[in-house]
Amino acid sequence: MPLDLSRLHLGCPYYPEHWPEARWADDARWMRGIGLTVTRMAEFAWALLEPSEDRFDFAWLDRAVDVFAAEGFQILLGTPTAAPPIWLSRRYPETLPIDDQGRRRNVGGRRHYCPNSPTYRTLSRRIARAMGERYGGRPEIVGWQIDNEFGGSGSARCYCEHCVTSFRTWLIERYSTLDALNTAWGTDFWSQHYADWSEIGAPILTNNAANPAQTLDYARFMSDSFVRFQRLQIEALREVVPAEHVFTTNFMGLFTQLDSFELAQDLDWASWDSYPTGNVFRWGAQTRNPGDLVPPYAFDVGDPIITGLAHDLTRGLKQAPFWVMEQQAGHINWESVNTLIRPGAIRLWTWHALAHGANGIVYFRERAALPAQEQYHSGLLKHDGTPDLGYREVSALAPERALMEAVAAHPPRARVALRYSYDDLWALQIAPHRKDFIYQRLIFVWYAALKHLGVDVDLVPPGAALDAYAVVIAPTAHLADAAEAAGLEAFARAGGAVIVGVRSGAKTTENAFTAQPLPGVLGGLVGANVSQWGALPDGVTFELTGELPGLAEPGAGFWVEALEPLPVADIRVLAAYAEGPWAGHSALTEHTLGQGRALYVGWYPRQAQAEAVLRRVLPMHNVPIETDLPPGLVLNRRGPYTMLLNFTDWPLSATVAGETFVVPGRDIVVRRMADARDDR
Ligand code: GAL
Ligand code: ZN
C-alpha cells in the first residue's frame, strides 16, 4: 500500500544494527502495540550494507524488513550517505571536506563528505541504486529519506578543490561572462578583477572581509550543491523503484545554512527533526529579542513559539502537511544543558506538531543506545529495555487517536503569509551593520506577534503565489527584485495588504546596494522614500507620535529609518519621530493603492509594536483577531478544529471567537467550531 500523506501516521525509527537480532521481533511487537505503524531504517548503515567497495550485504536488512513487515509496518529507508564508511574515506581521502580554516576533516563522526566530490557522488549513487533495486519490489517499503540532515554536524560548507572547480562552473552558468561577474561583484574595489575563471577561489582565509557578493554566491552555490547531491540520489532511486514511492529528507527547522525551499523542490513531502528542549538553547539567541528571555516554563517543554516557527517553516516548504521525522521523546544529549522531561511534554509535542500541520510523527528513538556517541540520548525504552516516559505517553495517545486522525484530514489554511528568504538571511549575516541584526530574529518578532494574537500564518519564499492570502508580511524584503516588487504591488492593488519593514529593497540580488532611492524597487508599492537610516546603540530610543494605539512604548530603537512620503495620492503617515535628529519625519506610512494597501514600518519593531500594526491591518482585510493569548498558551486551527495547547504547568484561559476556554496545565483543548470557517 502506498504511503498516504494525507492521513495521520505515528512511527519510530528502528536501528536493527544496534540490537541483537533476537530482539527485533519483540521490538516490532511493542512498537506496533503502542500504535506505531511506520518505521525508518538504515540511514547510517552504509558500512554494513557495503562492507567493502562494491560488495553489498543486504541479508541483515532483508531480515529486519521481514520482521517489521510481519507486524504490518510501512517502512521508509534512509539512504546512508550521511555516514561514509571508513574504507571509503581512507581509500578516497579527497571525499573528506575542507573547512573554512583550510583543514581536511577527519573520519569518526558523521557527515564527513564533500557533496561535489565526483567519487563521493558516484559511490552515493551506487549505494542508493543498489538499495532501490533490492527493496523497490517489497510492498512494505513505501518511501525514502535521502541522507540525514543535510548541512548538519558542521557539514554545510566545503572549500575543497572539487568545490572550487564546481563553483567556477556554477558562476559561468550564472554570469556567462567574466565581465558580468566582475561588474556584479564590484571587483574593481580592492583590486580583485578576475581575468580568467580559474583565478576565482573560495571566500575564506582573506585578510579583512571577503567580497560580499562572492560570499553570498558561495552560500547559494553550496546550497545548490546539496540540492544536486540529493537529486542525484532521487534520480538513481526513481529509475528502479515503483512510481508510488515517496521521497523526503529530514530538515532541521530553523537551520540557516542551506536553502530549505530549494532542497524541498525535488521532494514529495517535507519533514524535520524536532527537539524542543534543545532548540531553546540552539535557537533562543537567534529568535528571541535581547531581554525577552525564554519563558521559565520552557526548560522542559521548549519554547512553543520557536518550535511553532520551525513547524510552520517546514510546512511552508511544500505548502502541505509535513512530518516530524524525529520527534524528541525524552531528554536529548547534544545541548549545553540536556534538561529532564516532565510527564505531559511528549503528548503536548505530538499535538503541537499535528496542530501546525504535521501528518506524520516519528518518535526518536526506539531505545536508548548502550555504546557510542548518543548513549546519553533517551529513547521510548530505557537503556535496560523497560518503558521510559516516551513509551508511556505514546501509549496513552490511544484514546485520542480518532480525534487526531480527524484533525489530520484537514490541511491548515492561513490567510496571512510571512515572507522568508535565505538570500536575505545570508546577506544580512554577511553585513549585519550592527552585529545583532539577525534576520531570523526579525522574522520572529512578527511571527510571535501573530501567534500571540492567535493568527495562523504560512511561511512563504520570495516570489511565492499570493492569491490565497489577505495579508503578506515581509519583515524585511532586503534583496527583493523588480519581479517580486511587481507581484507585491499587484497583490495590494487587488485588495491585499503588504507590510514591509526596515532594509527592504536596499540590495540587488547580487548583494550590492541599489542605485535607486530606498526602498529601491519597492518605492512604488510603499509610496515613500527612506531618506535616512541607521543603527542605534542599546538603550537609545526615539519617541514616536501617531494615531495608532500601542506604538509609543518603548519608542523606536535598534534600527531606525526616516521616511519621506512621495507626492502620490493616498499616502498617510501613521507614526512619526517625536525626538532625535529626525524629529518630525515619518516612521510608519500607509499607502492605499487599488483595493488594498502597503505599509512601511520604518524601525525595528518590538513585538507589541508589530501587534499594534497587525491590530490595525488584519481586521481591515477580514482576518479577525479573535484573542490575546497568555504566554505559554498557543492556538492553531486545522479546518473546523481549533486547538489550544497549554505549555505551562498551571491552568490558562483564553477567549476565542467569543467562547472562553480553560486549558489545564500541560494539556490540550480541541474544539470543533460550530461556525467552522471555509475549509478550502
Ligand atoms: C538528529 C539526528 C539523529 C540523532 C538525533 C539525536 O539531529 O538526525 O541521527 O543524532 O539528532 O537528537
Ligand atoms: Zn568540497
Starting from the CA of residue 114, give the closest ligand: 2
> Using CA atoms, how far apart are residues 19 and 38, in angstroms rounded to an integer?
19
Task: Answer whether 373's CB lies under 8 Å from 334's CB.
Answer: no
Supply the pLDDT for residue 214. Answer: 98
Residue type, 368: A
Q: Is 43 in the pocket of ligand 1 (CB under 6 A)?
A: no
Supply the pLDDT for residue 552. Answer: 78
State mean pLDDT over 458-481: 98
Closest ligand 1 atom, residue 328 Cα = 12
Q: Is 332 in the pocket of ligand 1 (CB under 6 A)?
A: yes
Which of 425, 74, 31 has the alpha carbon at shortest distance from 259?
425
List C-alpha distances in Å: 647 to 10, 298, 304, 364: 22, 8, 7, 21
Ligand 1 centre to CA of 8 (Å) is 23
pLDDT at 215 over 60: yes
Specify whether 659 is catalytic. no
3-state helix, strand and coil shares in percent for the chain, rounded to the nearest 5: 35, 20, 45
pLDDT at 576 over 80: yes
Q: Is 148 in the pocket of ligand 1 (CB under 6 A)?
A: yes
> Alpha-carbon Rg of the chain, whole angstroms?
26
Q: Which of 374, 378, 380 to mutate to test the pocket of ligand 1 (most atoms within 8 A of CB)?
A: 374
Supply the pLDDT for residue 284. Answer: 85
Which grid cell is 16?
536493527
Ligand 2 centre to CA of 125 (Å) is 17
Ligand 1 centre to CA of 375 (Å) is 12
Supply the pLDDT for residue 680. Answer: 33
pLDDT at 293 over 80: no
State mean pLDDT over 629-634: 96
**HSE-up of 121 (CA within 13 Å, CB side)?**
15
State mean pLDDT over 402-406: 98
pLDDT at 678 over 50: no
Among 326, 366, 393, 611, the one annotated catalytic: 326
Supply the pLDDT for residue 674. Answer: 67
Which grid cell is 615?
491590530
Supply the pLDDT for residue 149. Answer: 98
**Cβ neighbourhood burial of 491 (10 Å; 0-12, 13-18, 19+):** buried
Ligand 1 centre to CA of 153 (Å) is 10
Which of 119, 103, 108, 211 has the alpha carbon at shortest distance from 159?
103
Model confidence at 218, pLDDT cuts 50, 70, 90, reads very high
State mean pLDDT over 405-430: 98
Which grid cell is 632?
505559554
Q: How many CB atoms lie within 10 A of CB 509?
A: 17
State mean pLDDT over 568-573: 94
Q: Is 328 in the pocket of ligand 1 (CB under 6 A)?
A: no
Closest ligand 1 atom, residue 149 Cα = 8
Q: Is 378 in the pocket of ligand 1 (CB under 6 A)?
A: no
**Those residues with Cβ within 8 angstroms of residue 5's Cβ, 6 or more apart along the chain or in another chain:** 246, 268, 269, 320, 321, 359, 360
Residue nearest to atom 12 of ligand 1 (CA): 332
Angle at 404 between CA 10 and CA 315, to 5 degrees: 70
pLDDT digits (tens, 9 = 90+) for 333-365: 999 889 999 899 999 999 999 999 999 999 999
pLDDT digits (tens, 9 = 90+) for 481-494: 999 999 999 999 99
pLDDT at 114 over 50: yes
What CATH code is assigned to 416-620?
3.40.50.880
Closest ligand 1 atom, residue 332 Cα = 12
> Using CA atoms, how far apart are residues 24 and 493, in angstroms rounded to an integer?
61
Q: What is the percent of the chain with per-residue pLDDT over 70, rounded to a whole number? A: 98
**Those residues with Cβ within 8 angstroms of residue 69's Cβ, 6 or more apart along the chain or in another chain:** 75, 138, 140
Measured in degrees and rounded to the nearest 5, phi and psi for residue 62 equal -55, -45
> Using CA atoms, how far apart are residues 637 and 411, in angstroms rounded to an integer?
9
Mean pLDDT, the chain, rounded, equals 96
pLDDT at 244 over 60: yes
Which of 630, 659, 622, 627 has the alpha carbon at shortest distance from 646?
630
Angle at 395 between CA 326 and CA 642, to 5 degrees: 75
Model confidence at 675, pLDDT cuts 50, 70, 90, reads low
Supply the pLDDT for residue 290. Answer: 65
Q: Specify the residue for cell string 552558468.
A: 173
Distance of CA 648 to the CA centre of its chain: 25
Ligand 2 centre to CA of 151 (Å) is 13
* CATH 3.40.50.880 domain locations along the chain: 416-620
pLDDT digits (tens, 9 = 90+) for 26-57: 999 999 999 999 999 999 999 999 999 999 99
Specify whether 17 is catalytic. no
Q: Is 326 in the pocket of ligand 1 (CB under 6 A)?
A: yes
State mean pLDDT over 190-201: 98
State mean pLDDT over 651-660: 94
Supply the pLDDT for residue 679. Answer: 41
pLDDT digits (tens, 9 = 90+) for 88-109: 999 999 999 999 999 999 999 9
Put simply, whether the predicted model's pTM sits higher than 0.95 gets the answer yes
> Using CA atoms, how far apart are residues 271 and 358, in angstroms rounded to an integer?
9
> Using CA atoms, how far apart are residues 511 and 503, in angstroms rounded to an integer?
13
Q: Between 422-430 and 212-238, two packed helices, what is the crossing angle to 10 degrees?
A: 150
Among 43, 50, 71, 149, the one annotated catalytic: 149
Which of 37, 15, 21, 31 has the alpha carbon at shortest distance from 359?
37
Q: What is the DSSP letter of 378?
A: -
Task: Answer whether 471's CB lies under 8 Å from 496's CB.
Answer: yes
Q: Which of 250, 334, 338, 375 to mutate to test the pocket of ligand 1 (most atoms within 8 A of CB)?
A: 334
pLDDT digits (tens, 9 = 90+) for 259-277: 999 999 999 999 999 999 9
Q: Is 224 in the pocket of ligand 1 (CB under 6 A)?
A: no
pLDDT at 239 over 70: yes
> Using CA atoms, how far apart are residues 54 and 66, in angstroms rounded to an integer?
24
* H or E segment and range at residue 592: strand 586-593
Q: Specify the residue for cell string 482576518.
A: 623
pLDDT digits (tens, 9 = 90+) for 143-177: 999 999 999 999 999 999 999 999 999 999 999 99
